[in-house]
Structure 1
Amino acid sequence: MVDVHPLVIFFASIFTSNMIFSNFLGMCSYIAVSKEIETATGLGIAVTFVLTITTILNYIVYHYVLVPFGLDYLRFIVFILVIAAFVQLLEMFLERYVENLYYALGIFLPLITVNCAILGVSLFMVIRNYNFIQTALFGLGSGLGWLLAIVSMAGIRSRINEDALPKGLGGPAITLIITGIMAMAFIGFSGIVQIS
């Protein structure tokens, strides 16, 4: 078990070990959905919810099913199955009760299943040997960090006049440039707290 206070893990996963700015995980939906603040916020909240719950579920499955039966080599497959099942339940819930958000997210809602940030958090939890509280706060913090990144990018992109940019810098290109600048800004927090 890693001897790091759970709150340190929580804040580090938001700022210094942000999944987007530090590990560059979950970039595809981040780039595609960060055009409008409302849609980016909806996806960010959905990713935060999925990250938190699936990380906890994967912790339980890993430590109480896979390890005791010597099946820990199946963790990739099992983690993906848990994530896929949970995202399917979330998708059905949103379609039924939050129809506007369901249609605004479109294809990116089922793509949460293959968002590498979500699988990455579960794998980091195993690699770093976190206990249950550390895992729960790591999942929540990673989701909030992802939410912070996508909403910040959506806010910046909504203010940019892409027509004034040179032709090759529009769309994903300017998004990646801004992401790099934001990542450098977040490096400034790394002297405060960092988890490896």
Structure 2
Amino acid sequence: MEVSWVTNLVSILLAAILTNNFILSQFLGICPFLGVSKKLDTAVGMSAAVIFVMLIATAVTWPIQVFLLTPNDLDYLQTIVFILVIAALVQFVEIILKKYMVSLYKALGVYLPLITTNCAVLGVTILNFTNGYTSVPYGFVQSMVNSLGGGLGFMLAMVLFAGVRGRIEHSDIPKSLQGLPITLVSASLVSISFLGFQGLVDGLFA
């Protein structure tokens, strides 16, 4: 029996959150993952901004790729065009936060403009086409769901790691492991834990 489109969308969403998590499985967006996960509020704030940028970037880049770049054999411009779009969107988010959420804007600091070079954001826009989400209009829906899942997976990883780092601060860590070493070890353990989700999506929708 052919898998229904609803089931397909749910599988794309769960895969993006769990089995294909951008940070913990594909190791994209490591810079904000390590830099902004010290506190839960900043981790959630950064994640919300990333989700917003991912969704809007996908909504803008998908039609550009499908209706402009591909028909005119300009696929080689994909990365440059997508980065320019993401940069413009990040500037928009930065203006909004600076005006309406000053405390979050200050807490995120330099990491907010770094969303422009966050490879997780660029990665999701490119992977939408690598995964073959190009049909009209269903491919657009698949791309948006994949971007939402990628953003939620980003938030899940950030929140989990913020909790882990909170526990680390109150733990007796050997001097040789304090700071970056224990942070990287903890990140590796969290990443390994996500291996348990491998095959979960295929099992649910087999």
**What's the TM-score, normalizing by structure 2?**
0.88
Gaps of 5+ in 1: none
- Counterpart secondary structure, 2:157: helix
Please name the residue that 2:155 is paired with.
Answer: 147
Deviations 1:39-63 (A, max 9, x none): 1110011111111211221111111
Q: Which of 88, 101, 111 is the aligned partner of 1:85?
A: 88
Question: Taking structure 1 as the reference length, what is the TM-score of the superposition?
Answer: 0.93
- Which has the bigger relative contact order, CA under 8 A and spacing at least 6? 1
Q: State the AA in 2 paired with 1:63.
A: V
Q: Is 1:75 paired with 2:83?
A: no
Counterpart CA distance in 2 for 1:105 and 1:154 is 14
* CA deviation string 1:114-153 (max 9, x = no partner): 0011111111111111111110000010000000001111
CA RMSD of superposed structures (Å): 1.6
* Structure-2 residue corresponding to 1:97: 100
Distance 2:115 2:18 in 1: 22
User: Which of the two has higher C-alpha Rg?
Assistant: 2
Partner of 1:184: 192
Q: Distance in 2 between matches of 1:37 and 1:171?
A: 18
Provide the rounded CA distance (Å) in 2 between the counterparts of 1:30 and 1:95: 22
Give the Cα–Cα distance (whole angstroms) in 2 for the partners of residues 55 and 167 of structure 1: 44
Could you tell me the percent identity over the aligned residues? 45
Per the alignment, residue 193 of structure 1 pairs with 201
Is 1:15 equivalent to 2:15 in the alignment? no
**1:177 partner amino acid:** V
Query: Which consecutive segments of 4 or more residues in structure 1 shift more than 3 A?
Result: none
Q: Paired residue for 1:32?
A: 35
| 1:166 correspondence with 2:174 | yes
Count of paired positions: 192
- Distance (Å, rounded) in 1 between the aligned partners of 2:171 and 2:19: 34
CA contact (8 A) 1:91 1:102 kept: yes
Secondary structure of 2:71's counterpart equals coil
Describe the shift of the 1:98–1:19 C-alpha distance in structure 2 as closer, same or farther (beyond 3 A). same
Distance in 2 (CA, whole Å) between partners of 1:105 and 1:171 is 20
